[in-house]
Amino acid sequence: MSATPQKNRATRRVLAAAAGLATVGALVAAMPAGAHDRGHGHGHGHKPRTVDVQLLSFNDLHGNLEPPAGSAGNVSETQPDGTVKAIPAGGVEYLATSLRTARKGNPYSVTAAGGDMVGASPLLSGLFHDEPTIEALNGLDLDVTAVGNHEFDEGAAELARLQNGGCHPVEGCYEKGKKFKGADFPYLAANVTKEKTGRPLLKPYTVWKKNGVKIGFIGVTLEGTPDIVTANGVKGLKFHDEVETINKYARELDRKGVKSIVALIHEGGAPASTSYNYDCDSPGAGDGISGPIVDIAKGITPKVDALVTGHTHQAYVCTVPDPSGQPRMVTSASSFGKLYTDTTLTYDRRTKDIVRTSVKSANHVVTRDQAKATDMTRLIDRWNKLAAPIASKPQGWISADINGRGSTAPEKPLGNVIADAQLEGLAPADKGGAEVAFMNPGGIRADLVHKASGSEGDGVVTYGEAFTVQPFTNMMNVVDLTGAQLVTALQQQVSGSNEASPKILQISKGLTYTLDLTKSGADRVVADTIKLNGEAIDPARTYRVAMNEFLAGGGDGFAALGEGANKLVGASDLDLFNAYLAAHSTAAAPLAPPATDRITVIQ
């Protein structure tokens, strides 16, 4: 990996910062009271003993260059009177402005990300294998990111291309005379090694330096990445324990004299409130944060000063005690560029470490009422011109928003539409003879929004909008499963690896059952209520079941779905979705949001 762009950019930044810093006095004035009044007269000249480093961070952008549409583009904000308000947020034109505004007056500023910058992206980025997003991140002056699971969607070779540049091996270069340059920031993958050599796939860490201030960044993705990515995406790779990996490289950095360390972890948690301004350290019962990141944070060596996390698309700024019992900052900035986190790390020049007691952090909304960054507008316009012939094609009509990503219910209206589309497309005997279809909830990436995204008119679903809902273009499979395996699969939604955070499959019409959330584990799926077309599931009978190749490979903890026999490979999920929209809607008779009455939920 070439270090040149990094060096050039670091130099540019230092010069720019120097220009904005007429005197050391200006730096001292920018520091909190008491932070700079130690250390004078101890051989340090006029350099203050401590300096505040601004860490700006975000996560899970998923190629959302344009503001996400519908409810998926809102963040929740709790008002002083306790009511919750939805604020439209996100879009790189606004994210760029937010970050640039935040950096003003902060000569020591570093920008880091927690993974899933690309993958599952809307058409504007996905159609071009996410080159537009890497270009936008270069323009945002991102300094470093961890890899997330979605960075592996197209495999290790494609991830290496995003890092190092070069045109796509199949589709070539998208713009005449322009070669894709790659990321001018490092992607870190400390816990991902090549099976053959045991060596790290990408750099495990990087050190950000400025005027003698050094901060090490270690980046990891969740150890369970192979469970949530198609087998081809992680072929030849091994994923290791997050805590052991971070602790190993923290020791290495420490030996090299780097005492200030930030971990970028593509794994997260769930705060007790979905409002971005929730006080995560509230002492009330049930307050705080739960999920995998809590145990990870508790296990990471005290050498690490702050954790930037992601993956769960939640917003939080929490402290979780490190192994020595000291509080340590753990942050996440929702998703899709709707928030950024601003953390102050006070760096002690004598110890070369962060003064942990003075670490401050807060999430900020990337509002859409600020000026757009004109360079990002130009970038979006340029790629939109290339995408337009495909993106703007109408696929169907809807009468109102059909919520998918924006729905918090176990059964989502858009989930029903997608599962029905899969069943309908694969029910004919020559297409697989499917009797039931399952869709993984995480594969629904957006809502279908009634309001026009361009000039197509309200209610028209364009190819670009359909692609944004189902961007993976997974091939569909139809397999034989016994009734017993079907029941087990439904129980795996709420047990095993999905017990703490259930993954409720979206199901096609005709399948019904009761989900009793007052129970625990597999019992939450009430087995004797599972029926297909009004008849109880027969454990001994064989059923033809449609699902995407990810689920058919046992992804998302659905081992039972991976046991299917007599596999037939059908069309892609997106093709079936578009065919269903075309068959079930016209301008005069648009598709209405379906009822959500397949899963009876007991709370």
Whether the Cβ atoms of residue 425 and residue 431 lie closer than 8 Å to each other: yes
pLDDT band at 579 (very low <50, low <70, confident <90, very high): very high
Helix, strand, coil in percent for the chain, rounding step 5:
30, 25, 45
Name the DSSP letter for residue 90. Answer: -
CA dist 4 and 164 (Å) reads: 11
Q: Span 434-460, mean pLDDT?
A: 96
Query: For residues 126 and 470, is the Cβ–Cβ distance under 8 A?
Result: no
245 membership: H or E segment, kind and range = helix 242-255
Please count the other Cβ atoms lying within 10 Å of the Cβ belonging to residue 450: 19
The H-assigned helical ranges of 70-189 are: 92-103, 123-126, 131-139, 156-164
Task: Over range 289-309, report the average pLDDT.
Answer: 97
Q: CB of 454 within 8 A of CB of 462? A: yes
Q: Is the pLDDT at 399 greater than 50, yes or no? A: yes
Select from 67, 123, 113 the least CA-distant residue to 94: 67
List CB contacts of 145: < 8 A, sequence separation 6 or more. Answer: 112, 113, 114, 115, 117, 137, 185, 186, 187, 188, 219, 264
Say if CB 342 and CB 317 are below 8 A apart: no
Residues, the chain, total? Answer: 603
Q: What is the predicted pLDDT for the residue at 286? A: 85
d(CA 592, CA 400): 6
CA neighbor of 344 nearest in space, from 332, 333, 334, 354: 354
Q: Are 89 and 75 in contact (CB under 8 A)?
A: yes
pLDDT digits (tens, 9 = 90+) for 121-171: 999 999 999 999 999 999 999 999 999 999 999 999 999 999 999 999 999
Nearest to 315, CA basis, from 341, 294, 297, 296 = 341
Residue type at 149 in one-letter notation: N
Please tell me the distance from the alpha carbon of residue 477 to that of residue 470, in angstroms, as a whole number.
16
Number of neighbouring beta carbons within 10 Å of residue 532: 20
The DSSP result for 390-444, as a single string, is: HHT-EEEEBSS-B-STT--SSS-HHHHHHHHHHHHHH-SGGGT--SEEEE-GGG-
Tell me if 329 sits within 8 A of 316, measured CB to CB: no
Query: Do 243 and 293 contact (CB within 8 A), yes or no?
Result: no
Mean pLDDT along residues 456-475: 96
pLDDT for position 37: 37
Find residue 456's DSSP bridge partners. Answer: none
Q: What pLDDT sits at residue 285?
A: 85
Note the pLDDT of residue 133: 98
CA distance 171 to 178: 14
Put residue 507 in one of left, alpha, beta given phi > 0 → left and psi -120 to 50 → alpha: beta
| Per-residue b or e along 398-411, where b marks 16 or more CB atoms closer than 10 Å to that residue's CB | beebbbbbbbeebb
Three-state secondary structure call for residue 167: coil
Between CA 598 and CA 57 the distance in angstroms is 40
To which H or E segment does residue 331 belong? strand 327-333
Using alpha carbons, select from 94, 85, 108 the residue that is nearest to residue 28.
108
Query: With 70 as the cut, is the pLDDT of residue 2 above it?
Result: no
Fill in the amino acid letter for 555. G
Contacts 24+ apart (CB under 8 A), 192-198: 192/147, 192/221, 192/225, 192/237, 192/238, 192/239, 192/240, 193/237, 193/238, 193/240, 194/156, 194/236, 194/237, 194/238, 195/236, 195/237, 195/238, 196/236, 198/238
CA angle (584, 590, 592) in 5-degree steps: 85
**pLDDT higher at 495 or 10:** 495
Question: Is the per-residue pLDDT at 530 higher than 50?
Answer: yes
Question: Is 261 in a helix, a strand, or coil?
Answer: strand
Q: What is the share, in percent, of the chain residues with pLDDT greater than 70?
A: 93
- For residue 336 the two structure tokens come to 């899709």
Write the pLDDT tens digit of every residue in 3-28: 333 434 443 333 333 333 333 333 33
Sign of CA dihedral 127, 129, 131, 132: positive
The region, left, alpha or beta by phi > 0 then psi within -120 to 50, assigned to residue 154 is: alpha
Tokens of 229: 């990515």
Supply the pLDDT for residue 45: 53
- pLDDT tens by residue, 45-80: 578 999 999 999 999 999 999 999 999 999 999 999
**DSSP state letter for 89:** B
Q: What is the mean pLDDT of the chain?
A: 93
CB 238 within 8 A of CB 193: yes
Query: Does 376 have pLDDT greater than 50?
Result: yes
Report the C-alpha gap between 268 and 331 in whole angstroms.
9
Rounded Cα gap, residues 325 and 492, in angstroms = 36
Whole-angstrom distance, CA of residue 304 vs CA of residue 250? 7
Task: Give the pairing type, strands 353-354 and 74-78.
Answer: unpaired
Structure letter (DSSP) for residue 448 = B
Summarised one tens digit per residue, pLDDT across range 210-222 is: 999 999 999 999 9
Residue 586 CB-density burial (10 A; 0-12 exposed, 13-18 middle, 19+ buried): exposed
Binned at pLDDT 50, 70 and 90, residue 284 comes out as confident
Q: How many CB atoms lie within 10 A of CB 78?
A: 16
Distance CA 50, CA 52 (A): 7
Task: Provide the residue type at 363 as one letter.
Answer: N
Q: How far apart are CA 564 and CA 290, in angstroms?
A: 34
